[in-house]
Amino acid sequence: NAGVTQTPKFRVLKTGQSMTLLCAQDMNHEYMYWYRQDPGMGLRLIHYSVGEGTTAKGEVPDGYNVSRLKKQNFLLGLESAAPSQTSVYFCASSLAGLSYEQYFGPGTRLTVT
Amino acid sequence: AQKITQTQPGMFVQEKEAVTLDCTYDTSDQSYGLFWYKQPSSGEMIFLIYQGSYDEQNATEGRYSLNFQKARKSANLVISASQLGDSAMYFCAMRASDRGSTLGRLYFGRGTQLTVWP
């Protein structure tokens, strides 16, 4: 099992450019999440999905869009990147229920200049 | 509102000693889960230990134990016999339902940077 994978691992964008981050999981998890991690801030939830075809906003959704066309994939899009979106992005997945841990991908380090 | 507080930005411990990392939480939910994750300098998030709100005994996983005090709303991580490889950022997190949903999103604290010295 590969677990949770993310592509790309690193990316540098110029302000105004767009990009898509891909997350894939092979554990048949229903729930998937996108977080961003900034220094001193812990992880903050951007968007999440509780199943194929469903998405919802998290704590910091502005400037991002997501799609979950297939159960195993969760895409995070930046339509017009801004320097404030410079961060490390983590995808995670889990089974439903409060007792299940979330499995994290390795992260994507994004720099917007 | 759901909230996790880690008040120790940094902790230092000598190899082979025990260390406690503090975590307090705030929730009005009766059912929730408490988690600790380790993030080494390589960046990945590693799950360490889980404690359910209805669990009467403190969770243990090898050298990790969770000191759960429900009345005080604290969930401190205890690492026994510290090793150099334990040097990392440690995050406390709570999984609770939002407005009665079953989502169970994770709420993270800001982390504690642990340094183990020889």
Q: What is the pLDDT of residues B31-68, one digit of tens each?
A: 899 999 999 999 999 999 999 999 989 999 999 999 99
Closest CA to A32 of A78, A97, A95: A95
Q: Which of B97, B106, B110 sits opposite A102 (nearest CB)?
A: B106
Contacts with A94 (C-beta within 8 Å, 6 or more apart), sequence order: A29, A31, A33, A100, A101, A102, A103, B104
Residues of A in contact with B30 (CB under 8 A): none
Query: Is the sign of the CA dihedral B63, B69, B70, B72 positive or negative?
Result: negative
* B102–chain A nearest CA distance, Å: 7
Name the residue type at position A59. E
pLDDT at residue B35, rounded to an integer: 96
pLDDT higher than 90, residue B100: no
pLDDT higher than 60, residue B111: yes
pLDDT at residue B102, rounded to an integer: 53
pLDDT at residue B63, rounded to an integer: 97
Q: What is the mean pLDDT of residues B107-112?
A: 94
**Do residues A17 and A111 make contact, with C-beta atoms less than 8 angstroms apart?**
no
pLDDT higher than 80, residue B103: no
pLDDT at residue B99, rounded to an integer: 59
pLDDT higher than 70, residue B112: yes
Q: What is the mean pLDDT of residues A75-101?
A: 93
Residue A39 at interface with chain B, using a CB cutoff of 8 Å: no
**Do residues B35 and A101 make contact, with C-beta atoms less than 8 angstroms apart?**
yes
Residue A71 burial (CB < 10 Å; 0-12/13-18/19+)?
Answer: middle
Q: Which of A43, A48, A98 sits opposite B108 (nearest CB)?
A: A43
| Structure letter (DSSP) for residue A102 | P
What's the distance, Cα to Cα, between the start and end of chain A in Å?
36
User: In terms of CA atoms, which chain A residue is nearest residue B2?
Assistant: A59
pLDDT at residue A96, rounded to an integer: 82
How high does pLDDT run on average in chain B?
Answer: 92
CB contact under 8 A, B47 and A106: no
Q: What is the mean pLDDT of residues B68-93?
A: 97
Closest CA to B92 of B73, B112, B78: B112
Give dist(CA B5, CA B10) in Å, integer: 14
Report in angstroms the alpha-carbon separations of A12 from A110, B26, B30: 6, 38, 44
**Pairwise pLDDT comparison (A14 vs A96), residue with the higher score:** A14
Give dist(CA B47, CA A80) in Å, integer: 33
pLDDT higher than 70, residue B101: no
- Report chain B residues touching chain A, CB-CB < 8 A: 4, 31-33, 35, 37, 43-45, 47, 50, 52, 91, 95-97, 102-106, 108-111
**Residue A55 in tokens:** 């998405």
Reported as a pLDDT band with limits 50, 70 and 90, residue A53 is very high
Q: Choose the mutation target among A10, A36, A101 for the interface with B, i.e. most B CBs under 10 Å.
A: A101
Contacts with B95 (C-beta within 8 Å, 6 or more apart), sequence order: A98, A99, A100, A102, B32, B33, B34, B35, B104, B105, B106, B107
Reported as a pLDDT band with limits 50, 70 and 90, residue A15 is very high
Q: Which residue has the tokens 């961060």?
A: A87
* A44–chain B nearest CA distance, Å: 7
Calculate what percentage of chain B has a pLDDT beyond 70. 94
Name the residue type at position B58. N
